[in-house]
Amino acid sequence: MRFTMAIGNVTECAIGRWNLIGNVTEAVHCRKLPAAFFQGAVFAVSQRQPAEIGDTIENIDTPALIVDLDAFEHNLDKMAAIAAAAGVRLRPHAKTHKSPTIAHMQIRRGAVGVCCQKVSEAEVMVLNGVADVLVSNQIVGARKLRRLAALARRARIGVCVDNAANVADLGAAATEAGVKLDVLIEVNVMQARCGVAPGSATAELAAVIGRTAGLHFRGLHAYHGKAQHYAGFAERAAAIAEAVEQIRDTLGLIRAQGQDCEIVTGSGTGTFEFEAASGVFNELQVGSYVFMDASYGRILDRGGAPIDVFEQSLFVLATIMSLPAENRMVCDAGLKALSVDSGLPLVVDNEGVEYLAASDEHGSLRLDRTNRSFSLGDKLRLIPGHCDPTVNLYDWFVCVRRGRVEEIWPISARGMLV
């Protein structure tokens, strides 16, 4: 039997995903390649590419993740300009796109590096040439700490902590690997997830980090995740104002004990303008702005209108697969194609068509208020409720401009959980 193998993107091939055409295991293919090819590489069998360059949208296999390149590039440019004008560093969160290709586009526009949430995400970024990664999360466990420290031989690596025992473990791993790790304290600014209380508890942990070999105390991480999705502008502004005051006081304590605090990082797509203007935060770790989603479509600007700084650039393309009743139809994008944790997807350009319910492989749609007649095979564009976990369901971004597929990018860090 003969099989063909195609590499999605040469720049990401060392760490990217294989597009296997043929029903064989990855291992069979891999043994045919020289051993040198595998050094430091992570391989996974991918979903089949849903399109070819030059295809029209109608020819894309579904469900597929579509990026509207005009809107996407607008979003990248816009956030880069906002950060530059505010005089703050931009370190976008790669948990949103999980793509070194996109990380490099952000870095070319001035970003200092990216944030990741997992060691394996960071590995994908670093092995694809990203030179500065902050893991904005706690990393616990000897194996993960060894992997994190090993990455610091190839790139500048930062990590967040909220516990003195974890600081000791990080220091030991860094010393064993012969590297220095940047360490930021995660401060709980009412996010009520991880994090040390602001004030003296944070200052005490900073002193512990300062005394630990192998570690460099770099600053504070203060992400207020809940505030990102408060619909009201004033509500979001008030939440961040309170966080800013807590961080300002904490910085005073840290500096009074003779420690420098170079970075105060935080923010997301819902609140970045407040952090950027605070005079306390000097780094933005926004993620969703590159794509946007239905949930962010519900937050309001100062005047009470939906925010329009960024454009919706991410869509799930679905196909109508059944027309069981006059007012009901079914598409091929259900729970395995869309994350619904922040609500159901919105249907684009078809007023009156509502996505009613998702089951594993089916999306049920109601047609009550439309007189458009649909046929089997018709395509629908859906705006996902939540972009990050939706991206994590796909291996490929199908990038479209003026109705044609212009590029196809692998989502190389998809599924990177450990």
Ligand X SMILES: Cc1ncc(COP(=O)(O)O)c(C=O)c1O
Binding-site ranges for ligand X (CB under 6 A): 93, 96, 115, 136, 223, 225, 228, 268-270, 285-289
Min dist CB 205 to ligand X, Å, is 18
Instruction: Report d(CA 250, CA 44) in Å as an integer.
Output: 44
Instruction: Report d(CA 355, CA 375) in Å as an integer.
Output: 17
Min dist CB 99 to ligand X, Å, is 14
Q: For ligand X, give the closer residue by CB, 284 or 380.
A: 284
Helices (H), 257-391: 272-276, 387-391
Q: CB under 8 Å, gap of 24 or more: what pairs does 166-170 form?
A: 166/138, 166/139, 166/140, 167/205, 167/208, 167/209, 167/212, 167/215, 168/212, 169/140, 169/142, 169/145, 170/139, 170/145, 170/212, 170/214, 170/215
Cβ contacts of residue 338 below 8 Å, gap of 6+? 63, 316, 345, 358, 363, 382, 384, 385, 390, 393
Q: For ligand X, give the closer residue by CB, 50 or 287.
A: 287
Q: For ligand X, give the closer residue by CB, 128 or 269.
A: 269
Min dist CB 115 to ligand X, Å, is 6
Min dist CB 137 to ligand X, Å, is 7
Q: For ligand X, give the closer residue by CB, 146 or 226.
A: 226
Min dist CB 93 to ligand X, Å, is 4
Residue nearest to ligand X as judged by C-beta position: 268
Which helix H or strand E contains 284, and what residues bound it? strand 283-284
Q: For ligand X, give the closer residue by CB, 51 or 290.
A: 290
Nearest to 198 by CA among 164, 222, 217: 222
Min dist CB 131 to ligand X, Å, is 20
Q: For ligand X, give the closer residue by CB, 93 or 104.
A: 93
Min dist CB 31 to ligand X, Å, is 39
Instruction: Report d(CA 100, CA 63) in Å as an integer.
Output: 23
Q: For ligand X, give the closer residue by CB, 286 or 331.
A: 286
